Structure 1
Amino acid sequence: MEILMSILIGLLFASAVYLMLSKSLLRIIIGTGLLSHGAHLMLLTMAGLKRGTVPLLGENAEAYTDPIPQALVLTAIVISFGVTAFFLVVAYRAYQELGTDNIDEMRGTKTDD
Structure 2
Amino acid sequence: MLARPNLMRKLMAMNIFQVAVILFYLSFAEKTGASTPVAPHGLLHPLAADFINPLPHALMLTAIVVGVGTTGVGLALLVSIYRRYETLEEPELLEKMRRENA
Whether TM exceeds 0.5 here: the answer is yes
Query: Looking at both structures, which has the greater relative contact order when contacts are Cα pairs under 8 Å and sequence separation is at least 6?
Result: 2
Shift of 1:53: 1.5
In structure 1, distance between residues paired with 2:95 and 2:33: 55
Aligned partner of 1:74 in structure 2 is: 61
For the residue of structure 1 that corresponds to 2:37, the secondary structure is coil
Identity among equivalent positions (%) equals: 23
Shift of 1:43: 1.1
Q: Is there any run of 5+ residues in structure 1 with no aligned partner, and where?
A: 1-16
Aligned partner of 1:48 in structure 2 is: 30
TM-score by length of 2: 0.77
Aligned partner of 1:23 in structure 2 is: 5
Q: Deviations over 1:32-70 (max 9, x none)?
A: 100110110111123235342211354746621110000
In structure 2, distance between residues paired with 1:70 and 1:30: 24
For the residue of structure 1 that corresponds to 2:50, the secondary structure is coil
Question: Quick one: which amino acid aligns to residue 44 of structure 1?
Answer: L
Conserved 8 A contact 1:23-1:103: yes
Conserved 8 A contact 1:25-1:91: yes
CA shift in 2, pair 1:49/1:84, >3 Å:
farther
Matched, 1:105 2:87: no
Matched, 1:64 2:46: no
Q: Is there any run of 5+ residues in structure 2 with no aligned partner, and where?
A: 97-102
Question: Quick one: which amino acid aligns to residue 25 of structure 1?
Answer: L
The two structures, once aligned, show a CA RMSD in angstroms of: 2.0
